[in-house]
Structures are given as structure tokens and as C-alpha cells.
Structure 1
Amino acid sequence: MLSRLPRLLRPPLSRSLASFPPPRLFSYDKIVANMSVADAIPAIEDCFIKLAQGQVDVPMPMHIGIPESGAAGPGDCHVKGGHVIGASTWTVKLANVSFYKNPDRGLPPGSGVFIVVCSETGAPLGIFSENRYLTDCRTGAAGGVAFKHCAAPGMDTVGFIGAGAIAKVMARAASCIRPFRGVVYAPDGAEAFKKEMENELSMPFEVVDSAEKLCRKSDVIYTQTPGSKTVLEKKWLKDRVTIIASGSDQPTKQELPTDVMAASTYITDLTNQCVRVGELRSAVKDGSMKESDVYAELGEVVAGMKPSDFSGIVVVDLTGTGAQDAAIGTVAWDKMSKLPE
């Protein structure tokens, strides 16, 4: 009898349980060839509505800092994720950014993976080696949603402070909403940005030699810079302007002066995140604003829960939410799982 005891204590049916198949691996090249910011916009718009309705489980991001040394860093790791209630998948995203020694090695300064998981079984379905491409797409899609709902028709001169990957994806997303005239200022890459965007979007772009000139021309301004220095001044702005800021996603970053923030109708992507890592953090820190000064979260505007007949300065603060990662993860899996292995 004692010899049979281990077998009797074994969980029922353990010998009949199958293991999960390994998740599919999708390469960066395959992702780029099959996904675009246009694919993401409807899902990102819907995820903001669900976020406002409390239909998303989205934890605060985890940040890991990599100190600078002779060989590494300075680098940052962001871990974000979420689940849109009712969706067939949920996503955890690991994004590594600001590894500025990488270009000397012939490597990009950022990388990352999406892990898309089945909502029914909890089994990982796909690992997307996206190297920030899906992250950029979902960031750009949020910028497109903000343009659609927070900048009135007729506000059609759109400025881009910064001319890197995020500026390009913001321009692509905005072009999915409506035609515009583009203006770009950047210390480097502005002419290349103008040429690429004009060829790709068939819209006119103008290069200017200062942020001030850009602000004085622009009805809508996208800021997407990586540093901790502010990039514009309140006195440069038109009386009516929408600023869509996406550069601040850590406590060390700030793109907008706090007097601009205090004078604005201020909209967050996720307030409890913006007050920690977004533009709101700086304004609260110096006393220019309180958290209660937030007009709305973007999803409340998109869902019609808050009016969108704005005047004066409007600021939309995009820190990037796990809800967006969850949404584009589902889109990526639904589309790319149908491709041949």
C-alpha cells in the first residue's frame, strides 16, 4: 500500500495533460512588412474609450534604469501591459530605450518585445521581436486619436518639434485623420523628414530654423523629444493651439513649460501615470497645477463623456499606456497569426 502512495497523491489526470505549444516568434522584418500605424488607430481609439469606462486592467509601468558605464547605458527598461476586457488576448511589453552607445556598435538605441497571451488559457501565443516598431505605432495611433478629437477641423497646419521615428509615425497617423500642411523643426534630420513625409503622404512640409517659428505658424504641435529641456515657450503660441506631447514618459523628462500647462485645457492619456512620469509631474512639483486641474482623460473626450469644443491652449499628454500595448498586441496577433509559418 505504501508503495502506491506517491501515485495516489498525484493530481488527477496529470498524466493526460498536454503541454502548451511554444509561442510563435515574429521577427522585426516580418512585423514591419505587415503592420502599420493605420492598422492600430481603430483599436487604439476603442481602447481609450474602454479605459474611460473602466474596462481595461492596466497596471502602472515598471521602470528599470541601467547606469552609464564605459560599455553600457545610460539605458531604460519600461515594462508595460494590460488587458482590454473581452479581448481575446492580453499583452506584456518590454521596451528598452536610450542605449545611446549602441549606434557606435552599428545597433539602434532601442529594442523590445511584445508577449501576446491567450485570455482563455493564459498561454503565450506570440513573441513579437518588434524593437519598438509596435510601440511607435501605438504611440503614433494615440497621437492620431488626439488630433481627431482634440483639434477642430480647420486646424490644419501641423508642426513637429523633432524629426525622428516618433515624429514620422505621428505624421502618418495624423494623415489618416485628415489632410494637413506640415512644419518641422529639429536640430538634425529636418530636411530628410520633409522629403520622406512629402513623398510618402503627398502633403506639403516646410522646414523652419527655430521652434519659435514653428509655433507661430502651427495650429497643432506634436512634441516628441527625448530630453529634459523644454522645447517651446508660451509667448510663441497662437491663441488657439493643440499641443500633443509624447516625449515625457519618465520622471527625468519634460518638454513643456509649466506655465503652458497651467494655461491649458489639460488632457491626459492616464492621469495617475501622467502625474508620476508625464508633463503633469513637473507642474504639480512646482505648484503650477494640481491633479484636480486635469480636464479629462483622452478616453473621456473620445467617448463623449467630456465636451470637446475647446478654445485657447489644449495640451494632450501621451505617456503611453499598457492599454495601448494590449490593443495593438491583439491587432498584431489577429493579423499576423494568419500568416504562414
Structure 2
Amino acid sequence: MLASLSRRASASSVRLSRVAAPVAVGACRSLSAFPAPRLFDYETVTRNLTVADAIESVEKAFGALAKGHVDVPMPMHIGIEESAIAGPGDCHIKGGYVAATPTFTVKLACVSFYKNKAKGLPPGSGIFIVVNAITGAPLGIFQENRFMTDLRTGAAGAVAMKHCSSATQDVVGFIGCGAIARNMARGAAAVRPFKGVAYAIEGAEAFAKEMQAELGMPFTVAPSAQALCGESDVIFTQTPGGKTVLEKSWLNPKGVTIIASGSDQPTKQEIPNDVLAASKYISDLTKQTSKVGELRAALGAGVMQLSDVHAELGEVVNGTKKGREGSEIIVVDLTGTGAQDAAIGQVAWDKLSKL
């Protein structure tokens, strides 16, 4: 009897395996039905995208973020410890989804790989992965090497200037004159005409010359950060964030808007704590700036509490909180959010997928 049962069980197993096998194969075929994501190389990305492309979508993303209509996880950081076979370097992973849009985006940015210089390579690289929000299948991989990141940062700067400064504030200073400063200048030019003032440890002359030619607006080079602050109505700071770049006594007493974008890690700070404490402080995302932005330092020093945050930028965009109201100091703390990445990712897919 046991032998008979064994034979019947064995026969059942064979029948089940014959039935199950086609299902497994079919499932594999179904999974492979997604088309491969399109790859857009760096040259294609840089030739076809501008800050102006991103401003409207980034502004809308900030508004949606303030309404709770964006899923933005905290950034992920991978530290690459220096060894004989790796590093040093850092990898930042951000992403987000703006509700009721057809795609979401995940960004991988690699920075501070300083050994690359000896190999003739830049110290940073990065990709955006734009994903179909209906099927979950990747649509496109954009080799942007921080280009799209800098574009969406410049667009955020434009949104901050539009909503947190007044039309009469037409002298705009730039402390730090690298790639981000160029996009901040392009973003500011989309808001209103201005006179530009530049200061940096190196590169200010080239920056001023290039921006004046490109934007058709006058640019001068300040002899010091103090001199720049004394004449500027709006100040963009975009430095590595290793130390503070201005002092409270330097600022224009008629009121100034500081748009700071250099701090995106817990080790960075551009704006002194006394300036932050005296300001109408506006974050891009408070849960993020309190961990990796300018606000982190002020909270740590005990000179600010979370209740001192006037608004998130999206609240000002939506009109639920006020921007500039008088001669106050305003600090807009831009650490870069997944909402911005989702916005520029959608723009990039909409524009480049048609090529």
C-alpha cells in the first residue's frame, strides 16, 4: 500500500510540475515585456535642458510639497571610505513623487571622488532614473553628472527670489562663482533684471564676464564678501559650506534676502547662527534642513527652535505664508528636495523623449 501511495504521489508531482512550468515561463515573459529604459547621454542632456525649462515645474512642486502632495523620503547617504581600492567619496540618493504626475524620479549623485583629478576625471557624477508611475517600469536614465541637479537648484533659487524678495531689490550678489552660481544667475534673470555682484576665492572674474555676456545684465566683481554684502539686496551663497561666508554686521540695513544652497550635509554651514536667529527663516523642507541644512546648526546652538521656522517655501508659493513684508532679513535654506528632482525628471522626460 505504501508503494502504491508513493507511486500516486510521484505521478501527482509530475502532473503538477508539468502544469507549473508554463506558468513560471509565462511570468518571466511577462516581466521581460517592459521595454528597456532609454539612455540619454550627458551631451544630449546638456544640449537640450535649461534652467528656464525647470522653473515652472519646480515652483509647482514646492506648492504641492507644502500641501502634502509629494512623497519625499529623507536623502540616503553612502560614504565611500578611502582605501587602497576605493574612495574617498560620497553618494547621495534622493527621489520623490509629485501626486497626479505620470512619472517619479530617483537620483543617484556621486561627489567628492577627489582621486579622479589625477586620472583626468571630474570628482562628481550622477544619473536620474525616471520611472513610469503607472507601471513602475523605468522609462529613462539620464547621465547628467550634476547638470540636472544644478538646473533644479537654479530653478529653486528663482522661485525663492520671486516669492521672498521685492521688485525693488535689484542688486544681486553671488558668493561662490561655480556651476551652481551660474544657474542661480540664470534663474534670477528669469525673475527680473538686476545688477550682479560676484565674489569668490577664485573664478569671480570669469563668472562675471560670462554672465554679463549671456544675460545682458551688468556684473561687477567685489573685492570682498563684506563689500558684496554691503551693496546687495539679494545674496545667493553656493560654496562648499566648510565655513560661514558672511557676517550680520555686513548686511544691507534696508533688508536682504539670502538664498543659501551650500549646505546639504550635517558638516556644512554657510550662514552664521546669529543671522539665522535674526531672520525670517524659510526652508525648502524643514524635516530636511533641520538635519542637513543651515537650520541644523542654529538648532544645535540653541539659538532657534523648530517653532521659529516662518514657513516652508511651498507655503509662500501657495500664499498661505508671507514672503517679504518690510526691511527684514530673510534666509531661504535650500538643501535640495526630492520634489525638485521629480519635477526636473518629468521635464527631462517630456522634452528629451520626443527627440
TM surpasses 0.5: yes
Q: Which residue of 1 aligns with 2:343?
A: 327
**Aligned with residue 42 of structure 1, among 45, 48, 56:** 56
- The answer to whether the 8 A contact 2:324-2:330 is kept is no
- The answer to whether the 8 A contact 1:37-1:140 is kept is yes
Q: Which residue of 2 aligns with 1:14?
A: 27
Which consecutive residues of structure 2, in runs of 5 or more, have no partner in the other structure? 1-11
**Aligned with residue 104 of structure 2, among 75, 79, 90:** 90
Instruction: Please give the residue correspondences for 1:1-341 in structure 2 after superposition, counting only pairs within 5 Å.
Output: 1-9=12-20, 11=23, 14=27, 17=30, 19-69=33-83, 73-239=87-253, 240-311=255-326, 312-339=328-355
- The answer to whether the 8 A contact 1:72-1:99 is kept is no
Amino acid at match of 2:336: G
* Structure holding more helix per residue: 2
1:67: how far off?
Answer: 2.8
Amino acid at match of 2:277: A
TM-score (norm 1): 0.96
Amino acid at match of 2:303: S
Q: Report how many aligned residue pairs link the two structures.
A: 339
Q: Which moved more, 1:168-177 or 1:92-101?
A: 92-101
Identity %: 65
Q: Distance in 1 between matches of 2:160 and 2:28?
A: 53
Aligned CA RMSD, in angstroms, stands at: 1.5
1:107: how far off?
Answer: 1.4
The structure with the largest alpha-carbon Rg is 2
- Structure 1 residues 316, 4: CA separation in 2 closer, same or farther (over 3 Å shift)? same
Q: Provide the secondary structure at the position in 2 that maps to 1:126.
A: strand
Amino acid at match of 1:3: V
- Structure 1 residues 74, 8: CA separation in 2 closer, same or farther (over 3 Å shift)? same
Q: Distance in 1 between matches of 2:347 and 2:28?
A: 36
- The answer to whether the 8 A contact 2:238-2:260 is kept is yes
- The answer to whether the 8 A contact 1:267-1:295 is kept is yes
TM-score (norm 2): 0.92
1:70: how far off?
Answer: 6.7
- The answer to whether the 8 A contact 1:231-1:255 is kept is yes
- The answer to whether the 8 A contact 1:72-1:101 is kept is no
1:6: how far off?
Answer: 2.0
Q: Provide the secondary structure at the position in 2 that maps to 1:206.
A: strand
Q: Distance in 2 between matches of 1:284 and 1:333?
A: 39
Q: Which residue of 1 aligns with 2:4?
A: none
- Structure 1 residues 15, 207: CA separation in 2 closer, same or farther (over 3 Å shift)? closer
- The answer to whether the 8 A contact 1:95-1:111 is kept is yes
1:276: how far off?
Answer: 0.2
1:2: how far off?
Answer: 3.1
Which consecutive residues of structure 1, in runs of 5 or more, have no partner in the other structure? none
- The answer to whether the 8 A contact 1:71-1:101 is kept is no
- The answer to whether the 8 A contact 2:256-2:330 is kept is yes
Amino acid at match of 1:165: A
1:110: how far off?
Answer: 1.1
1:173: how far off?
Answer: 0.6
Cα deviation code 1:204-241 (max 9, x no counterpart): 00101210000001000000001320000000001200
1:72: how far off?
Answer: 5.5
- Structure 1 residues 185, 105: CA separation in 2 closer, same or farther (over 3 Å shift)? same
Q: Provide the secondary structure at the position in 2 that maps to 1:77.
A: strand
